Chain A
Amino acid sequence: MRFMVLVPGSPESEAGEMPSTEILGEMTKYNEELVKSGVMLAGEGLHPTSRGAKIRFNGSERIVIDGPFTEAKEIVAGYWIWECASRDEAIEWLKRAPFGGGVEIELRPIFEADDFGEQLTPELREANERLREQATQN
């Protein structure tokens, strides 16, 4: 199953400030662990909204609104794409991320083609059940 993890912006990210060396170091270590566990497929940081734009759609009208946008909390500053066996595994990975200060990081499953998803999900659920049964029998 594929997941997108959305990292929200902050006044600092919106101001284009780079995180401290310490935070960058922790994040690099975390990313390394994701890669070495075969979980991370992609991940990028986004420039501040001052360099972006919005387009409002109204009938045939297109209105371009230049950044920056207000409400830093609702702004996405970066994302990861992960491949995990289950939502629980993705949650377990996200719990290990080096964030703090009350920030909330959002985890969202990515839609997959129905035939693919249907085959994968019930099987995995069943597999987890069995692993648990087996483990408790030991």
Chain B
Amino acid sequence: MSPSATHRAIDAVWRIESARLIAGLTRIVRDVAVAEDLAQDALVAALEQWPESGIPDKPGAWLMATAKRRGIDALRRRVVFERKREQIGHELEILQQLDRPDLAAQVDDVQDDVLRLIFMTCHPVLSRDARVALTLRLLGGLSTPEIARALLVSEGTVAQRIVRAKRTLAEARVPFEVPSREELAERLAAVLEVIYLVFNEGYAATAGEHWIRPALCADALRLGRILAALMPREAEINGLLALMELQASRLRARVGPHGEPVLLADQDRARWDHLLVERGLAGLRRAEELSGALGPYTLQAAIAACHARARSVEATDWSRIVALYDGLAALTGSPVVELNRAVAVTRAFGPEAGLELVDLLVDEPALRGYHLLPAVRGDVLVRLGRSAEAREEFERAADLCGNDRERELLLSRAIACSAS
């Protein structure tokens, strides 16, 4: 194998193994920062040795053994060096843990470590931004520059978020465990929120020049699939995964040839990804079977499924969508949900009914500055033939919109209003 081919193979091994490696090391040393350092050391060793020796038969086991051995060596040196000082307690503790045979790994499924790590990186003690960055880093296997590019913030900001997050976890002594039954619902909601945040930033970028960023959607889908496989009996995990797969099935129809957004009504439904539609519908069925009352992600997946099943906008079961939004609004009380419900009501019962609902939201503080409020109002006004007012709404929406491609679309709709 040529050196560059070996390097590419090492990247691939890292993508496959890094989450499990860091999770396994965290179980041993009880500190994600130390665990990640050890894992990185093992990666460096692989980059040094594998081009010569070839890739070992069990690369994951090799990385784990190397991480532990290197950790032990480094800590021994430090303990000897710092013997006269008093701060070696923590190092000694880690050294002892690393030096013991890892009995837990033999009885325990290492995949459970990955689950524990997810609950740790999505712990409510961390800010949302920190959870997203740390989860992409430790479970998604993304580097700091990749995360920075994905989230459109500077590398320094990401690096700082990750360092702080690790420190916060250590200081708060967040345990490496799957939460108990009583805590599980709340903690799981925090995990699902992180995954969906990542997905949404890829699906409808809030900023930047691209309307969608499929690589971020792929990262979120992968995390969702891992979680669904680890906790298959949790309805809302299945609901979230179904929601993401149904939405992702439309990704390639969602962008025109020049990168411009194509809205649901104008999409070529033949270009939807039918494998993802099938997976999404199957996931929704599982979520519904496992649910008592449907949770918020399952309800949203059920709405997405109404679109996925329909051959055209006209053939869509809009009254069912309205009913599902009723359920979602009752559950979340979110004005954004109310706004979506108004869109469905417009389709199901006509623009007069829709406008009435939108107008109730105009003074809603939570929607102040939200570009989709004037965009929806403009759309309803177009249906009522009130072009001049619609134009103003689209212009207002364009002003508020942070995404370049979406702004162009809104401006073109404004122009279309004056033409009609």
Chain A residues within CB distance 8 Å of chain B:
32, 35-38, 41-42, 81, 83, 85-86, 88-89, 91-93, 112-113, 115-116, 119-120, 123-124, 127-128, 130-132, 134-136, 138
Contact = CB atoms under 8 A, between A and B. Distances in A.
B16 interface: yes
Given A85-B218, A138-B40, 12 more contacts: A38-B223, A42-B279, A89-B15, A113-B252, A116-B214, A119-B213, A130-B146, A132-B11, A132-B47, A135-B43, A135-B47, A138-B44
**Nearest 5 pairs of A and B residues by beta carbon:** A38-B225, A88-B12, A38-B222, A113-B252, A92-B12
Given A89-B16, A132-B7, A112 B252 contact: yes
> Chain B at the A interface: mostly helix, strand, loop or mixed?
helix
B251 interface: yes
Contacts of A112: 252
B222 A128 contact: no
Instruction: Give the interface centre of B223, B224, B255 by most chain A CB atoms within 10 Å.
Output: B255
A89 B259 CA distance: 28
A88 B275 contact: no
B221 A38 contact: yes
B207 interface: no
B12 A83 contact: no
Contacts of B143: 127, 130-131, 134
> Chain A at the B interface: mostly helix, strand, loop or mixed?
helix
Given A92-B16, A136-B44, A83 B7 contact: no
A81 to B, nearest CB: 7
B71 to A, nearest CB: 15
Given A123-B215, A127-B146, A135-B43, A91 B7 contact: no
B111 interface: yes
Interface string B1-37: 0000001111111111000000000000000000000
Instruction: Give the interface centre of B8, B9, B144 by most chain A CB atoms within 10 Å.
Output: B8
Contacts of A123: 215
A112 B253 CA distance: 12
Contacts of B251: 116
B336 interface: no
27 contacts: A36-B229, A37-B16, A38-B222, A42-B279, A83-B221, A83-B222, A85-B218, A86-B11, A86-B12, A88-B9, A88-B12, A89-B15, A89-B16, A91-B9, A92-B9, A113-B252, A113-B271, A115-B259, A116-B214, A116-B252, A119-B213, A128-B8, A130-B145, A131-B14, A132-B11, A132-B47, A135-B43
Interface string B372-400: 00000000000000000000000000000
Instruction: Give the interface centre of A32, A86, A88 by most chain B CB atoms within 10 Å.
Output: A88
